[in-house]
Each structure stands twice: as structure tokens, then as C-alpha cells.
């Protein structure tokens, strides 16, 4: 199982040491700022797709996107 934990920057060093010291933790790896931004964008996109499938959100068509260019 993978778990994402959001930790304040000023506590990150201590938290990393604690996590690494636990025998059942396989891997501890901080995420870069760009990775976090990508992760948030993907979560937002997935949520928009879910809302669209439920009929709660109307998405633009590919043609509409091309017309904006």
C-alpha cells in the first residue's frame, strides 16, 4: 500500500527520520515541487471526469479546445 503524507517543511526532516526508522516502512521518498503540482493537477482532472460522468459538469469538446487556439 502507498500512503501520501503532507508534512510542514519545518518538520519534514524529523518526519523522514521517524519514517525511515520504522521497520515496516519499505521506502521513504520526498516529492519534488513539480511532482506535487502534477499530482494535484491529476487529482483535479480525475475529479472533473468523475463529475462529468455523473452529469454534474459539462466539459469542453476537443473541437472547442482547438477553436480556442
53 within some domain: yes
Average pLDDT over residues 44-66: 94
Average pLDDT over residues 3-17: 92
Q: Whole-number mean pLDDT of the chain?
A: 93
* pLDDT score, position 50: 96
Answer yes or no: is pLDDT of 2 > 90: no
The total number of structural domains that make up the chain: 1
Other Cβ atoms closer than 10 A to 16: 14
Q: Which domain holds residue 44?
A: 30-69
2 within some domain: no
Amino acid at each position: 500500500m502507498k500512503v501520501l503524507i503532507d508534512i510542514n517543511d519545518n518538520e519534514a526532516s524529523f518526519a523522514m527520520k521517524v519514517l525511515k526508522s520504522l521497520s515496516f516502512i519499505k521506502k521513504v521518498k520526498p516529492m519534488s515541487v513539480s511532482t506535487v503540482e502534477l499530482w494535484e493537477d491529476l487529482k483535479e482532472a480525475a475529479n472533473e471526469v468523475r463529475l462529468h460522468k455523473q452529469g454534474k459538469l459539462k466539459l469542453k469538446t476537443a473541437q472547442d479546445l482547438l477553436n480556442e487556439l
